Chains A and B, each alone.
Chain A
Amino acid sequence: MSLTFVHTSDWHLGRAYQRLGRKTSALRQWRFDAIHRVYDLADSQRAAFILVAGDVFQSDTPRADVMAEVLALLADAPVPTIIIPGNHDPLTEGSVWRRDEFAGQLAGRSNIRLALTCEPLELDFCDTTVFPCPVTSNSTPEDLSSWIPAGTRGGSRYRIGLAHGRWQGYSGEPYAVNFIAANRAEAAGLDYLALGDFHSYTLADHPAAKARCYYAGTSECTACDEPRAGYALLVQLDAPGDEPRVAPHRVGKMRPMVIAETLSPEAGYGPLQQKIDGLEDADDVLLKLEVSGALNESDFQDFTAWAAGLDQRLLGVDGQLGALYREPSRADFDTLGLGKAEREVLEALQQPPQASSATEGDDAQVLIAGLASRPEICREALALYYRELKQESQA
């Protein structure tokens, strides 16, 4: 008998998008909407069950209203849904998993299985054994999946792991905490290891995928730098031991995007503007805009005004403009007809004295040297100088 199920994780329900201001409440709802699309996927694909690989909640101590909403959400689950706590909502004392208002309310529901202990869950209706690995702390220096007993694939039952943590070496770096052994699926003879924690789903050519370990990613994007967020995985197995067929299905609405550009006064910000203005369905785009470099005075002002207006057109903008400076060019200064003294001031701002050279001077010199040693202040001062000179000239 073949097996089809849905793998999802990192719902982060109750997460507040405070930086998005007016859209906060709408986005909060989006996260719930995404779960309903997960349900739709399971329903339409006749999935046997849904695996939720941790971080259902943003916090292990959500407010009462969030708990109530999640209870209502879980009530709609169309198929048996197996949930483990993740590092955001670990199974700690006082956590949501131990509270009557939540866990107590789920006790009588047959469609929700809170897997709070490390023991196999036998799903006889689909000849499947699930090995859940609940997270008990937000930082665990051990592999919580290590309890899964060794086994071999291809028996009479499907062996499915459910864990939350970092697949060792997933991004090339070793992890010291919250890790999952890279050979876990192999060692435990798992047909599939459903993972949660990373917010982008695992691509098929990733070493983890080859080891039958997949991240489903978050069901709804939480940050701009999550390229494959907003998906749930539909997993199909023809028989125990067979290779799983894994297909991502979009369930989230938000489209994360990161644009990093280095601007120059000469080139201006026109190309960047075109790129962003050309985005389709901009309302769903959560943009992380990392802009560095410099613009001339007028461009800078225009750009910052334009960037501020982006928030109205896109879903949200995480504008990292701190590394962008308004920088009057030499030509800008030339138009002011600088006298020699003024040029010397300009040079002093462009090539400030080294701090060490002024340590023995008077207080003013030390102060200036100290300030001049900070490039951001020099850039700011230069822009200020230009602006003031221009204003003075126009006066």
Chain B
Amino acid sequence: MNIVRIKISDWRSTAARELVLQPGLNILRGENEAGKSTIVEAIQKALYWDHTAKKGKSNNVDFIAPVNNPNARPTVELELLIGSSRVTVTKTVSGKKDHRQCTLKVLDPQGGERTFRDAQAEEKLRELLARSHAMPGLDWSEQSEGYAYLAESLPIAACAALSIGKDGTIMPSARLEQLRKRIGAARDEQLNKTLKQPLVDSAKSGTLAYELRQTRQQKRDELATVKSQLAKVDELRRSILKLDREAAGLGPQLEQAKQLRKTRQAQQKRQKEAEGVRAKCSDMADACRRDLAAAEKRMEEIESLRKQRDSQTQSCDQLDGQLKQLDPARQAAIQHCERIKGDRIKAEGALESVRRRIDAHASRLEVFQQTDACAQAQQSFDQSEALQSALAEAEKAFDAIGPWPTGEDIGRWRKAFAELSALKRDAMSSLQLNFEPARPLRIEWSADSGSAQALTAEPGAPATLGAVRSLRLEIEGVGRLQISCGATELAELLKTIQQQGDSLNQSLSAHGAAADELPGGFDRLEEIRIRGEEAERGVKEARRQAGQAGRELGDRDRLRKQLKDAQQKLTSAVTRLEALKSLVPEGLDADGLRAEIERLKDEERAQQTIYQKLVEGGGSAERELAALDKKYSLAEQQLSQARAAAGEASRRLVELERDGLADDVRRQNIQQLRVKTAGLESEVEQAQQAVADLGPAISDDELAAQDTKLAALDGKVGELNLQLAEKRAELRTICGNDPQGELERLEQEIGELDARLAGEERKLGALALLDGVLTQQRQSLARLIAKPLNERIAPWLRQIRGLPTELEIDADTSRITRIITDRGGYRDELPFEEHSEGLKGQVGLLVRLTLARLTAEQNGGQHFVVLDDPLTETSPFRRPEMFRILQQAAEHLQILLVTCHEDAVALLPGHVIAF
């Protein structure tokens, strides 16, 4: 493809300009700001600016319209030769959408012309450019890029584009490289911002995927909870089923246990009943046996009694015989005894007579003696009584006197009385003086005690005392001193007297009684005193005498007792003598009596001896009789016993035979009882067998144990039911939250989140894949172009540097890593970026020209390259060599060199367009 002509209008500061280019080298020369780059820009816009694309930063063309005419429509018309077709593209490049337009005319070699407009024109243009391998990166370099030269095509298998970046990176195509960068960035973004889990675990910094995962995790957690709830539900349901089954299993057991218990209870009852029957039978059998035994015993007893009765009757007869034999001897003995007894009674009478006579004599003697004793005792007593009487008299006299004052007392009283009298007189005087008493006072002793005695006034008493007041002076123990006066005011005086009287009273108190006896005043007192002292002496004497008599005769009681005893003895002796008085001759005194007594005692002794003998003889006969009596009594006793026994036997027999049955009947009855007993015993055996048949006896303990088991079972069933209720309640609580519904909801939500995450991951995968493929492509191209590029470029590098030079291209990084220079003995391998800017720019230009040339060769035609002042960093010494290389390249390429340097014009043979 070649550019044939370019025409612009209203393009920046250029109102209109048209350039015609030729094949080969075209040099657009001009001063700075002459508009050279405007031409380059216009070519670029005509070829690659899409007027249908949305307005954006990268395709902003607002600035292209002239500043002085913003409504102008900047237009470029570019005529191209593509293959054998002549193509004219016209674009109005404006920031205003309505102004934009594109027209494409294609004139084929046969003269056919087709015109395309707008989008269709754009599309057709892109197709044509692609077919000619035109590439924006290859076709021109921009002025500001300096050494960033682009090449688009290679003739080798890669046949793709390359670009060399400022860092020496070779890129398969600018577009691919841009794309790769964006994809890489997008991938990183997707990875870092969308999918990669943030390092900082916070909600704000979370990526989309992180949020999705977090949400999903939350949902999964919720799901796990719900699942656990459902598992719990299952578990509870299983537990309930199990418990239910267990409880249901226990139900029959419980029923069985209840039934068993009931059975056992019934069995126990039956056993008890059978036992009762057995016991009853047994009791009846026992009763029957007892009846039998009684009947038998009775029979035996009857027979025995009969024998006994007969035997005893026989014994009675024998004993009766024996008694009859004993009786004569016994009667003789009795008579003998009676005789002796008569004699002895007589002897006893004689002896008794003697003794009575002795006694009579002794009694008479006793009367004598007691009469004397009695008289003596009476005497002593009388004497004692006389003394006592005298003492009593003396004491009485003494007591009559009572206490008496001493002489000293009487003297003191006299003195006191005198003082009192004096006081009275003083008082009287005072009264008379002060009150002129109408009558004199009379003072009188009174022997009375008790109430006050009012004294009347004497007749003739001075009447000056209008009112008579009586005063009573009491001297306790002495008497009363009555004072009458005519003035109450005497009270003060009397008070004094009272005080003195009190004092006197105290003195007299001990002798009050004596004082009472002294009505005649102190003389009387004196008399009393003398009498008293005499009486005292009399008493003392009487006491002394009485005491002496007491000591000699004993006291009065003893004497009285002695007298009484003597009197009693005398009475007794007299009484005894009264009965025996006839046996004692009168006239005997005491001695005669005593002699008679002695004689009678001798007589008594003789009679005693006779009597003693009779007693002894009587004793022997009685003993003999006693032996016979004993024998007879024994026989009688035996007979009596035998008779009693026989009687008892007979009585008992009568009792036993009261039923009146004959012996045969009794025996028949006994036989019947035996049969009955045997029958009952059989029944007992049967009852026992029945009990035995009921099996071992069921005890209350056993039943209690059964009850315990039943209760335990019942308790277990209850417990199970309780557990069931608890489990059911728990289940009910859990199920109330609809875990199944929740599970379905959460699974659905998690599924949606999974799908979203999968989408994001798929997106990342796509980005990664594309990025990987692009990178691989770049690496592959880099490897492919390294050799041919070096082959083509090496002569040119040697030409400008004078040294064999080779580019080292790293396939992995797609970069020109080093420029290797063979300096004759050694290889200089300096990294690309460390070379001078000039060399780097030259290398870039050479790479671009090489690639463009190869592209042209590949297409079998020419290709154009626009170079906007590419050698600004190249030294003047190397520029000529570079121009020569440009000249060589222009043999195969259409080159539009834009420059402000004159040397290019001078050195390069080409079509010069001057600005």
Segment among B204-212, B232-240, B704-712, B861-869 that sits at the interface with chain A: B232-240
Given A58-B741, A334-B127, decide whether A376 and B762 contact each other with a Cβ distance below 8 A: yes
Distance, CA A352 to CA B770, complexed state (A): 11
Interface check B176, CB cutoff 8 A: yes
A366-395, CB < 8 A from B:
367-368, 371-372, 374, 376-378, 380-381, 383-385, 388-389, 392-395
Q: Using Cβ atoms and an 8 Å threshold, which residues of chain A touch B415?
A: none
Interface check B75, CB cutoff 8 A: no
Interface check B738, CB cutoff 8 A: yes
Q: Is the CB of A393 within 8 A of B50?
A: yes
Closest to A377 in B: B765
Interface check A19, CB cutoff 8 A: yes
Distance, CA A247 to CA B698, complexed state (A): 73
Interface check B601, CB cutoff 8 A: no
Q: Is the CB of B776 within 8 A of A368?
A: yes
Segment among B155-163, B216-224, B446-454, B590-598 that sits at the interface with chain A: B155-163
Given A19-B748, A341-B172, A371-B769, decide whether A364 and B237 contact each other with a Cβ distance below 8 A: no
* A interface secondary structure, majority: helix
Q: Using Cβ atoms and an 8 Å threshold, which residues of chain B touch A384?
A: 183, 766-767, 770
Interface check A80, CB cutoff 8 A: no
Q: Using Cβ atoms and an 8 Å threshold, which residues of chain B touch A341?
A: 158-161, 172-173, 176, 777, 781
Distance, CA A340 to CA B851, complexed state (A): 14
Segment among A88-96, A120-128, A200-208, A280-288 that sits at the interface with chain B: A88-96
Count how many chain A residues have C-beta atoms less than 8 Å from C-beta atoms of the other chain.
53
Segment among B87-95, B129-137, B480-488 that sits at the interface with chain A: B129-137
Q: Using Cβ atoms and an 8 Å threshold, which residues of chain A touch B127?
A: 334-335, 337
Q: Using Cβ atoms and an 8 Å threshold, which residues of chain A touch B135?
A: 339
Distance, CA A386 to CA B750, complexed state (A): 33
Segment among B51-59, B542-550, B793-801, B876-884 that sits at the interface with chain A: B51-59
Interface check B524, CB cutoff 8 A: no
Interface check B735, CB cutoff 8 A: yes
Interface check B10, CB cutoff 8 A: no
Q: Is the CB of A61 within 8 A of B781?
A: no
Residue from B153, B237, B769 in contact with A92 in the complex, judged by beta carbons closer than 8 Å: B237
Distance, CA A365 to CA B145, complexed state (A): 35
Q: Using Cβ atoms and an 8 Å threshold, which residues of chain B touch A265?
A: none
Mark each residue of chain B from 729 to 751: 1 if its CB lies under 8 Å from any CB of chain A, else 0: 00110111111110011001100
Q: Using Cβ atoms and an 8 Å threshold, which residues of chain B touch A335?
A: 123, 126-127
Residue from B130, B158, B182 in contact with A388 in the complex, judged by beta carbons closer than 8 Å: B182
Q: Is the CB of B766 within 8 A of A380?
A: yes
Q: Is the CB of A394 within 8 A of B741?
A: no
Given A339-B160, A342-B175, decide whether A62 and B741 contact each other with a Cβ distance below 8 A: yes
Q: Is the CB of A345 within 8 A of B129?
A: no
CB distance from A203 to the nearest CB of B (A): 29
CB distance from A355 to the nearest CB of B (A): 12
Q: Using Cβ atoms and an 8 Å threshold, which residues of chain B touch A395?
A: 53, 56, 58-59, 178
Interface check A275, CB cutoff 8 A: no
Interface size class of B (residues with CB under 8 A): 35 or more
Given A337-B127, A341-B172, decide whether A59 and B770 contact each other with a Cβ distance below 8 A: no
Given A345-B774, A381-B769, decide whether A339 and B161 contact each other with a Cβ distance below 8 A: yes
Residue from B176, B732, B749, B765 in contact with A94 in the complex, judged by beta carbons closer than 8 Å: B732
Q: Is the CB of A349 within 8 A of B755?
A: no
Closest to B156 in A: A340
Q: Is the CB of B179 within 8 A of A364?
A: no
Distance, CA A295 to CA B734, complexed state (A): 50
Residue from B152, B158, B741, B767 in contact with A14 in the complex, judged by beta carbons closer than 8 Å: B741
Query: Which of B763, B772, B781 has the most C-beta atoms of chain A within 10 angstroms of its own C-beta?
Result: B772
B610-632, CB < 8 A from A:
none
Interface check A356, CB cutoff 8 A: no
Given A371-B769, A395-B56, decide whether A94 and B233 contact each other with a Cβ distance below 8 A: yes
Distance, CA A340 to CA B737, complexed state (A): 64
Interface check B768, CB cutoff 8 A: yes
Mark each residue of chain B from 765 to 792: 1 if its CB lies under 8 Å from any CB of chain A, else 0: 1111110111111001100000000000
Q: Is the CB of A63 within 8 A of B755?
A: no
Distance, CA A341 to CA B171, complexed state (A): 10
Q: Is the CB of A340 within 8 A of B160?
A: yes
Closest to A389 in B: B179
Distance, CA A367 to CA B769, complexed state (A): 8
Closest to A371 in B: B769
Mark each residue of chain A from 52 to 72: 1 if its CB lies under 8 Å from any CB of chain B, else 0: 000000111111101000000
A304-346, CB < 8 A from B:
322, 334-342, 344-345
CB distance from A140 to the nearest CB of B (A): 14
CB distance from B120 to the nearest CB of A (A): 11
Q: Is the CB of B748 within 8 A of A372?
A: no
Q: Using Cβ atoms and an 8 Å threshold, which residues of chain B touch A19?
A: 748, 752
Residue from A95, A334, A342, A368 in contact with B769 in the complex, judged by beta carbons closer than 8 Å: A368
Q: Using Cβ atoms and an 8 Å threshold, which residues of chain B touch A392?
A: 175, 178-179, 182
Q: Is the CB of B735 within 8 A of A61?
A: yes
Interface check A187, CB cutoff 8 A: no
Distance, CA A43 to CA B186, complexed state (A): 66
Closest to A378 in B: B769
CB distance from A349 to the nearest CB of B (A): 6
Distance, CA A384 to CA B768, complexed state (A): 11
Closest to A341 in B: B160
Given A16-B741, A342-B160, decide whether A348 and B765 contact each other with a Cβ distance below 8 A: no
Given A342-B160, A344-B160, decide whether A394 and B50 contact each other with a Cβ distance below 8 A: yes
Interface check A110, CB cutoff 8 A: no
CB distance from A57 to the nearest CB of B (A): 9
Q: Is the CB of B772 within 8 A of A364?
A: yes
Interface check A357, CB cutoff 8 A: no
Distance, CA A378 to CA B763, complexed state (A): 10
CB distance from A262 to the nearest CB of B (A): 20
Interface check B241, CB cutoff 8 A: yes
Q: Is the CB of B769 within 8 A of A93?
A: no
Interface check A245, CB cutoff 8 A: no
CB distance from B656 to the nearest CB of A (A): 87
Distance, CA A364 to CA B771, complexed state (A): 10
Closest to B777 in A: A345
Q: Is the CB of A381 within 8 A of B770?
A: yes
Interface check B576, CB cutoff 8 A: no
Closest to A15 in B: B741
Closest to B233 in A: A94
Q: Is the CB of A339 within 8 A of B152?
A: yes
Q: Is the CB of A342 within 8 A of B741?
A: no
Query: Which of B53, B175, B182, B736 has the most C-beta atoms of chain A within 10 angstroms of its own C-beta?
Result: B175
Interface check A99, CB cutoff 8 A: yes
Distance, CA A220 to CA B205, complexed state (A): 45
Residue from A339, A352, A388 in contact with B133 in the complex, judged by beta carbons closer than 8 Å: A339
Given A61-B740, A339-B161, A341-B176, decide whether A381 and B773 contact each other with a Cβ distance below 8 A: yes
Q: Is the CB of B130 within 8 A of A337?
A: yes
Interface check B728, CB cutoff 8 A: yes
Interface check A18, CB cutoff 8 A: yes
Q: Is the CB of B773 within 8 A of A340?
A: no
Q: Is the CB of A64 within 8 A of B736?
A: yes
Distance, CA A384 to CA B763, complexed state (A): 9
B136-187, CB < 8 A from A:
152-153, 158-161, 172-173, 175-176, 178-179, 182-183
A-B contact pairs, 16 of them (CB 8 A): A59-B744, A61-B233, A92-B237, A93-B731, A99-B732, A334-B127, A340-B158, A342-B173, A345-B777, A348-B776, A348-B777, A364-B775, A365-B776, A374-B765, A384-B767, A385-B179
Q: Which 4 A-B pairs have the closest CB atoms?
A: A341-B160, A337-B130, A380-B766, A94-B731
Q: List residues of A whose CB falls within 8 A of some B CB.
A: 14, 16, 18-19, 58-64, 66, 92-95, 99, 322, 334-342, 344-345, 348-349, 352, 364-365, 367-368, 371-372, 374, 376-378, 380-381, 383-385, 388-389, 392-395
Given contacts A381-B767, A395-B59, 13 further A-B contacts (CB under 8 A): A59-B740, A66-B738, A335-B127, A339-B175, A344-B158, A348-B777, A365-B776, A367-B772, A376-B762, A381-B765, A381-B773, A388-B182, A394-B54
